[in-house]
Structure 1
Amino acid sequence: MKDTISVLGNEIHDQIIQELQLRGIPLIPVLKLNIIQQVNEEPVILDQNDIQRLFSFFGEILHVSTKHQEAIVHFKTIEAAYFAQKTLHNKQIEESSLILEVSWNSLLPLTKSLYPSKADSQTDNSFKYTCKYEILIKNSSDFQVSRRIIGPKGKNMKKIIENCLKKLDSKRLDSVKLRLRGLGSGFKEGPFNEESNEPLHLCVSSKDYEVFAVACAEAEKLISNVYTEYDNFLKKHGFQPARLCITTM
């Protein structure tokens, strides 16, 4: 299957793109995996290595993240993601009642199509992949969410960039940009030198999809950790945990 995918001609590539566009599916090579099981069965905890082995049969994988019975799989190409979704969706695992539910992940809304045509990618130097993660916690003196996102002296932002460079064996520090903007960010802009009226958000952008995918995965990990810290903060002060989910703008 891998060899078949790697030699797909432009015609099949264009057919896949056309089908996904007609179905209104974002052209993002990222899939979401859920495990469907009987109500009375013990919950299954997904193993990243098992998921990596299963999905890598269809093509190169950039990143796998798991949480309970859900996993997000970032492929390198739209073709690999397409065939993986077609083949594995509603597939029952042998010798069990577990069923794989594989769908297209629409978590990352972008300013432009995430999968440009070959002509676009060669001629449009301004093209970039962009995602805005809304931070669902108001910045306050009690819980300084902006500082927790950025880290001491920008430590968390630097770590995301370092992980991108490490995983992709790149040395370009400018290959990805991370910006915390909006109310509570402390960043002032415009003619009146004020914070934007937008909700607090972390913006991730890159001209390179592989770098973008890794940066988004790392950003989601960071935000998820901050949300866990917030829940612990609420419980410590006698409140119910918020159990916030990662949200994009």
Structure 2
Amino acid sequence: MIKAIKDTINILTNEIHDHIIQELEFLNIPLIPVLKLSIIQQIKKDPVILDQNDIQNLFSFFGEVLHVSTKQQEAIVYFKTIEAAYFAQKTLDNKQIEESLLILKVSWNNNLPVTGSLYPLKTDTQIDNTFKYTCKYEILIKNSTEFQVSRRIIGPKGKNMKKIIGKCLKKLNIKKFDSVKLRLRGLGSGSNEESNEPLHLCVSSKDYNIFTIACAESEKLISNIYTEYDIFLKNRGLKPERLCITKM
């Protein structure tokens, strides 16, 4: 009985996920679970100051929130799953805060992959370059001879990695190639340090601003590969997986 209930829940969960993905694709919304929050004031008053903790608590009702960034009268909310972001946007958009003349405006952050709006650029006095900023992206495709995801990430002779590093240096007008590091690790990476971990791309830098650009470019690359993978599956009569970027 319990197994039957679990199976039914899994089927419904998959159907909901597929419906959400189809709707977002139809609307040309990037499949990255990031929302933008702004406050509409119906009467002129002092600007509303957005509190990160309050925003985190509100949006966490819909699912796990990985990151909240505030900038002036806007906030960017980064969810773990596309479903959580979808229901948060549907529920909270155009909602009036009780006993106030403030209205929540919640939209998809269509400027993705992640830009400075999610990780705002810091001034020199705000940056601690003795600290290393790191993250990793789990690659949700198994490396195979038919679809060589590792090669697609790295590119011929490391072309894709060099391209990302080059963009980081160009945007900030610097020449230190060791200022940002990109490493493909885990099963199928081909690395000398290959482990039994799932395949993942590591991004690190001591410079915060370089780190944010590298993350944005890495997400763009992974998103393009996921699109290629769906085409690969369709051409073989298989159901597209419609993968979302997973950042840790």
Whether the aligned pair in 2 keeps the contact of 1:16 and 1:82 (CA below 8 Å) is: no
String of CA shifts for 1:147-195, please: whole Å, max 9, x gaps.
Answer: 0000000000000011111122222211111000011101132xxxxx2
1:100 Cα deviation after fit: 3.6
2:217: which partner in 1? Answer: 218
What is the alpha-carbon distance in structure 2 between the residues aligned to residue 133 and residue 162 of structure 1? Answer: 20
Which runs of 5 or more structure 2 residues have no equivalent in the other structure? 1-49, 60-64, 77-92, 97-103
Change (3 A) 1:128 1:121: farther
Q: 1:162 maps to what in 2?
A: 166
Structure 1's 196 and 170: CA in aligned 2 closer, same or farther, altered over 3 A? same
Partner of 1:64: none
Alignment of 1:1-249 (within 5 A): 26=67, 28=69, 90=94, 99-101=105-107, 126-189=130-193, 195-249=194-248
Specify every segment of 5 or more residues in structure 1 that has no aligned partner in the other structure, as ranges. Answer: 1-14, 30-77, 84-88, 93-97, 109-113, 190-194
C-alpha deviation, 1:139, in angstroms: 0.4
User: 1:90–1:100: 8 Å Cα contact kept in structure 2?
Assistant: yes
Q: How many residues align?
A: 160
Matched residue SS, 1:141: coil
Q: Are 1:176 and 1:211, in contact at CA under 8 Å, matched by a contact in 2?
A: yes
Offset at residue 208 of structure 1 (A): 1.2
State the shift of 1:248 in Å: 1.7
Distance in 1, Cα, partners of 2:57 & 2:239: 43
Alpha-carbon separation, structure 1, partners of 2:183 and 2:68: 24
2:246 partner amino acid = T
Residue 9 of structure 1 is matched in structure 2 by: none
Mapped to 2, the partners of 1:22 and 1:239 lie a distance apart of 40
Aligned pair in 2 of structure 1 residues 18, 180: CA closer, same or farther (>3 Å)? same
How large is the RMSD of aligned CA atoms in angstroms?
3.7
TM-score normalised to structure 1 length: 0.53
Offset at residue 146 of structure 1 (A): 0.2
One-letter amino acid matched to 1:217: A
2:183 match: secondary structure: strand
Q: Is the 8 A contact 1:91 1:100 kept in 2?
A: no
Cα distance in 1 between the residues matched to 2:170 and 2:130: 25
Calculate the TM-score normalised by the size of structure 2.
0.53
Residues 229 and 173 of structure 1: CA distance in aligned 2, closer, same or farther (over 3 Å): same
In the alignment, residue 173 of structure 1 is paired with which amino acid? F
